[in-house]
A and B are shown apart, each in its own frame.
Chain A
């Protein structure tokens, strides 16, 4: 006899279920079940994955939710199927209604639930009243009359056929307790008496009995308490039992073979009504794009797209001759044909509409990813790189070989991202838009933390262990214990510490389980008017509703997801342009500047690329030194090369050797020369691979991309296809074999050129701004902090470039780094925002009430906290407020602030008598010493984290000169293998994984003239181990190593703490003076 489980919590019942939907569906199919339900707590977080897994296993999906009904306990609500989605829609709306109230208390009132469950006086869902419902509880805690009343109440509220079923469960717990056979018997009896269908489930929360231990640990994580401090689950019975055991259970409950069969068959009858048809019920794979009316278009969407794209030609290619336009039109028509075949016209119109809206808001945007390979995207203004000029392929982005909606990612100014989200909600309406969610899963450290909590470890001890879990999956924690040196100490303790041993086991159990849901950092779902009937939503941290589906659910649900990613560099550039316009009254259209500016490339080639998008890291700077880019395409290549794939594929050296003429490129066959010429014979890009396959096998580019995608999984198939077809087309065996070895080696290592080119644009734009408007550009960097380095390095860079920095001044500073005109040109005024301990409210008060005539005035009207006032004085932000500031030292200012702070209460401002009492004591102290340069620097470092007035290294200069320390800027003039000493402030430490597996440490030091990069191999690491990771100011000895025309790094031999040397130096010099 067949059976279906109707109450199954997956791992997406966070901190409750232990099995993922695919595991459950697979097991169900293996057990011979024809259908399986998923009923997660409070949502459909795992529902789409469940349906997908069921389709794969060829069983029927059933979907429901476990929800709290206010004052009525927890019930299971299941969507009824094969009703054109009425059940699914009701389920979505019921969940959204329950989620509306607050994140902490998800629940729905019985009345609201009843109202949503009714369509045309029929029930669209079925509620299971189980042991956790008010009825079920009453059978344990109260008498039969009370329990019967509860059941009658439900029946009265939902008098429709199949709206209710009583859920009989026995977890074989102690007689008389919840989930006991005794309770099941009572519930069954009352269901029969009152006339509500009883069904049997196992209220499943794990796949196998063994998973109950994982369940215990999850319970502890949910309770936020150690095991033993709360009531644990009663036993390990809540697993996905096979039909035979469910029949046995039914027999035990009913004590009659007939009645047991009846109970099972009731369940099966209901299960059949609940089976969902993914397509007609859930809109599986059916694209749900906004309606024409929402996009403001009329007529056939494809015709509108055709029109818009053609209009775009005049915009993107003004005044072009007809023969130049011919290939453009040809390309456009090919793309449009594909788009039409796939029926994606509305999708492109939607994305274009959003892109236009963002531009209308005057927010900078750029496309990212393979979408930049589309001419349609270029003509619609979605992307800004010309795919023909940059040899990008549409097929890498979209082809008739795949039918999923393509990803178009849009980068925007990070500071205005939420503004865009709100505008999208407004433009398309809250019924068509929701944010995307994402599920975080347990990884090593989180798993150790929650495992430790469950076992009652002290937080300190857990922290210690968590720190040692680094770059390996906690799933094989035990296996790693013997292998990783950092785990040796832990491994030794296991023999004697039982609890620690358990911790390793439970950590392995938790790893990879879903942990919680949060807002996706950039995804927005854009749908039609029925969107909220297709996905349940809940409040996000942003206040806007968020779908319970994640990015993997989008494609199966036919939902259109836009990735609108906040990029700080875009904010920085927008800021720079705004400052140029404000201060110099020049308006600049960054997207239309020529992309071959010689000055810009000259500046890039110096390797002083700090602050430039994508190429500012030490590694990229070194590569810039070797590569010496001269045109836009070089930037595309360089960005693409410095990626894990091409680096692992060892593409960099052969490319550089070819570029610098050290080796002559080998194109293997003349047919490949046009494809590989620009990369000197090295296959770097996916696009090149596609073209090679296309030329040599005659397959279409679309087919070629499919082959590329299967290269990793099904290498043999691709090899056979390539060799057969290339041979057929007359290529010699030698050529075919050699090229196959290249393609085979390429594997998954290449990079999508469209992606590289899309990135190269902001790279070029930021380099251009840095070259021509360094002051404004740096102001943007200071304000939006897009890079990887500390702000103090930007200061060093400003000094190096001769950009003037003006200190914080309460009369002039704002919450942004503004460009100020001074008598000798432009300068950057530091903002108030970087002062240690200052609050947002203090900043706005200071700005609103400025200017101030003196210290008392400032103290009264800006009303800063005492510590803030003192800190401002220490960094000199109040220097201008000493009356006749020339006569007063910073010491005087500080003293005055102390006086003011000492007053017990600040006089309140009144309109009639402004600060009369206060003025009386406004006597500026005199004669306090001026701050020494050292004290100034120290205050700046302490309170701003930046050395404003001078470089931190300046004070050591006498010693450094005496030792003959070389400045970073001088390195480039030295021969290779020169013995050198370099010194500086550590700005970056990197230890990338190496092909050899050995650890190499790269340390970047800044000495005010630029950055020097030191490389530490094994021996040097050992010699300098005490300073390698912690010391801020360092001296490094080593040999120069030339890596390119402008590239020099230091092969370190040893390193010291500069401060220690300094103390010694002072001591010795004192002795010298005394002698």
Chain B
């Protein structure tokens, strides 16, 4: 198989997948500053010199991590933080641009935020 055919096949696959998902996903993994309301829900954040406003009610959910690959200890009482991740899914937009979906990780212990992924 020539390199060109190979590239062609991959491009086609990517197009099909994008068509199926209907959107593009970008992995970011960067620390960000987030503003929250009284209920602790994000209302806006800044990222790469841009300021984003959350435009619908954000959804919070919980994911997990593989502590057996990452953690140094797992003793009784260490807390679910070793296992659990607090995730936020929200629609936000920069001034004058179309909204996108963002996925954020909130670490409660340090009250820090991370932008994980963007769905365009």
Q: Which of A966-1011 contact B (CB under 8 A)?
A: none
Q: Which of B68, B75, B80, B87 contacts A209 (CB 8 A)?
A: B80
A138-149 interface mask toward B, CB cutoff 8 Å, 1 = contact, 0 = none? 000000000000
Contact B66 A228 (CB under 8 A): yes
B74 x A175 contact (CB < 8 A): no
- Check A210–B66 contact: CB distance below 8 A: no
- Is A232 close to B, CB under 8 A? yes
Given contacts A235-B63, A237-B62, contact A228 B68 (CB under 8 A): yes
Interface residues of A in 146-179 (CB under 8 A from B): 171-175
Asked if A213 and B82 sit within 8 Å, CB to CB, the answer is yes
Distance (whole angstroms) from the CB of B21 to the closest CB of chain A: 13
**Does chain B have a CB within 8 A of A720?**
no
Closest A residue by C-beta to B76: A509
Question: CA of A216 to CA of B61 in the docked complex: distance in angstroms?
Answer: 19
Asked if A695 lies at the interface with its beta carbon under 8 angstroms from chain B, I say: no
Q: Is the CB of B68 within 8 A of A235?
A: no
Bitwise, A231-256 to B at CB < 8 A (1) or not (0) is 01111110000000000000000000
Contacts of A501 in B (CB 8 A): 72-73
Which of A214, A232, A506 lies in contact with B64, CB distance below 8 A? A232
Does residue A455 face the partner (Cβ distance < 8 Å to B)? yes
Q: Of all chain A residues, which has the CB nearest B62?
A: A235
Cα-based distance from A232 to B63 in the complex (angstroms): 11
Is the pair A213, B61 in contact by a Cβ cutoff of 8 Å?
no
Q: How far is the CB of B24 from chain A (nearest CB, A)?
A: 19
Question: Cβ of A502 < 8 Å from any Cβ of B?
Answer: yes
Given contacts A210-B76, A501-B73, A505-B74, contact A175 B59 (CB under 8 A): yes
Partner of B69, one of A173, A180, A228, A234: A228
* Residue B43 interfacial (CB < 8 Å): no
Q: Does B89 contact A (CB under 8 A)?
A: yes
Q: Does A1067 reach chain B (CB closer than 8 Å)?
A: no
A209 to B, closest residue via Cβ: B80
Residue pair B64, A172 in contact (C-beta under 8 Å) = no
Contact of A498 with B by CB under 8 A: yes
Residue of B nearest to A252 (CB): B60
Q: Does A386 contact B (CB under 8 A)?
A: no
Of A213, A236, A455, which is within 8 A of B62 by CB? A236
Given contacts A227-B68, A235-B84, contact A210 B62 (CB under 8 A): no
Distance of A552 Cα from B45 Cα, bound (Å)? 59
For B71, the chain A residues whose CB sits under 8 A away are: 502
Point out the residues of chain B lying under 8 angstroms from A236, CB to CB.
62, 64, 80, 83-84
Chain A residues with CB under 8 Å of B20's CB are: none
Size band of the interface chain B makes with A:
20 to 34
Asked whether any CB of chain A lies closer than 8 Å to the CB of B47, the reply is no
B48-78: CB near A (< 8 Å → 1, else 0) gives 0000000000011111101111011111111
Whether A234 and B63, one on each chain, are in contact in the complex, defined by CB atoms closer than 8 angstroms, is yes
CB neighbours (8 Å) of B89 from chain A are: 175
A429–B60 CA distance with the chains assembled, in angstroms? 58
Q: Which B residues touch A237, using CB under 8 A?
A: 62, 84
Closest Cβ of chain A to B29, distance in Å, is: 18
**Residue A508 at the B interface, CB < 8 A?**
yes
A213 to B89, CA, bound (A): 25
* Chain B proximity of A1005: nearest CB distance (Å): 47
Distance, CA A502 to CA B71, complexed state (A): 8
In residues 91-117 of chain B, which contact A (Cβ within 8 Å)?
A: none
Q: Which residues of B contact A214 (CB under 8 A)?
A: 76
Closest to A509 in B: B76
Q: Hey, what's the 0/1 contact readout for A485-511 against B, CB within 8 Å counting as 1?
A: 000000000000011011001101100
Q: Is the CB of A508 within 8 A of B75?
A: yes
Chain A, 654-683, contact with B by CB distance < 8 Å: what is the 0/1 string? 000000000000000000000000000000
Q: Tell which of A209, A454, A505 touches B76, judged by Cβ atoms closer than 8 Å.
A: A505
Q: For the complex, what is the distance from the CA of A455 to the CA of B62, rounded to whole Å? A: 23
Rounded to whole angstroms, the CA-CA distance of A158 and B67 in the bound complex is 45
Given the complex of chains A and B, what is the CA–CA distance between A792 and B83 in angstroms? 57
Minimum CB–CB distance for B23 against chain A, Å: 15
How near does chain A come to B48, taking the closest CB pair, in angstroms? 26
Question: In the complex the two chains form, what is the Cα distance from A454 to B74 in whole Å?
Answer: 13
B62 touches A173 (CB 8 A): yes
A474 lies within 8 A of chain B by Cβ: no
B contact residues vs A (CB 8 Å cutoff): 59-64, 66-69, 71-80, 82-85, 87, 89
Residues on A lying within 8 angstroms of B by beta carbon are 171-175, 180-181, 209-210, 212-214, 216, 227-228, 232-237, 454-456, 478, 498-499, 501-502, 505-506, 508-509
12 pairs, A vs B, C-beta closer than 8 Å: A174-B63, A174-B87, A181-B59, A209-B84, A213-B74, A216-B68, A234-B62, A234-B64, A502-B68, A502-B74, A505-B74, A509-B76
Extra contacts, 10 of them, besides A175-B61, A228-B69, A232-B64 (Cβ < 8 A), are A174-B63, A175-B89, A181-B59, A210-B80, A212-B83, A235-B63, A455-B68, A456-B68, A498-B72, A502-B72
